[in-house]
Amino acid sequence: MNDSYYAPVVHVADERDEGRMLRDVLRERLGLSRRLFVKLKQSDEGLTVNGSKAYPSLRLAAGDVIEFRMRQESSDDILPQPMELNIVFEDEHLLVLNKPAGIIVHPTTGHYANTLANGVVHYWREKGERCRFRPVHRLDEDTSGLVIVAKHPYAHQQLSVQMGEGTVGKRYRAYVYGRPPADEGEVNEPIGRLPEDPHRRAVLPDGAPSLTYYKTAEAYPCGASALDVRLGTGRTHQIRVHLGHIGCPLIGDSYYTDPRWEATELAARLREVIGRQALHASELSFRHPVTGEPMKLIAELPPDLRELERELSRLSTPPAPRLESSTT
């Protein structure tokens, strides 16, 4: 078999597939998109049944082994750069990384180097793999945590469908000023672009429906909270906007800062500890795009957030009482 193909996706036909055409099983059972189906038909070696080239009109029998392969692609427009990568999971279909803060996921205009994509492309080339960099979702530059990268078009398509259906569980740890209105709750407010600054989002009446769930993990007496956050929707800057809307801006978030908090002694102390928004994508749960296996991946807190936790605990601990010296 030509080695210019990705690892095959395999499906063994069962009673539900008996007598059905191959094209229908690919679309309905495996969820293959029309665009990818067209690509398979154009490939000499991309679609086989029981090891032989197969045509879409073939009628299947139970036990038939269906395999399809996508042609390999590479991100020739991305400069490979050596980079230390924190890989949480990898197989022939996907790569999940724990992204550090301060790294952009994908090159943008005027920012072509030192992104996660540059490091991943270099890593794949060193391994002899040809894959196009396909992030399934993204994190803000100064948000740390889990990012999924698909290695081939079918894996990307299947994970994108899960994203669209809302079946990918995304959990975050956020450190904020203040206390939320309840220990556990939701923020169900529309988010849109501000006309005067299209890069900035805000709660606006004509914004897109947006839903964020939160639960207090720790209420620090010094005036801060640690929240476990779960997304119901995936809007740009959603967590930052929603938490600020309920009076709990993220510690270290200079873009969505609240002047009332920034003027406090607590903020001054914490600026010495952390220089970015205190937000970490800590957990992802989804179905593997090829095997269907349930996946749950966890990324531990990075060192700067662990230090922030320690500082919040120190600031919340009352000083030990002074012992008065006695004279005789």
Residues with catalytic roles: 140
Which residues lie below 8 Å from residue 256, measured CB to CB, with a gap of 6+?
200, 237, 240, 241, 244, 249, 250, 277
Q: Which residue has the tokens 């992030």?
A: 135
Task: Tally Cβ neighbours within 10 Å of residue 275.
Answer: 13
Overall size of the chain counted in residues:
328
Measured CA to CA in angstroms, residue 133 lies from 33, 120, 271, 291 at distances of: 20, 8, 35, 21
CB 249 within 8 A of CB 177: yes
Measured CA to CA in angstroms, residue 86 lies from 105, 241, 302 at distances of: 14, 28, 11
Give the integer Cα–Cα distance in Å for 166 and 126: 35
Radius of gyration of the chain (CA): 25
What letter represents residue 93's amino acid? H
Give the integer Cα–Cα distance in Å for 2 and 312: 57
* Element housing 33 (H / E): none
Give the integer Cα–Cα distance in Å for 42 and 25: 18
Our CA dihedral for 279, 110, 258, 250, rounded to 10 degrees, sits at 0
Give the integer Cα–Cα distance in Å for 41 and 34: 11
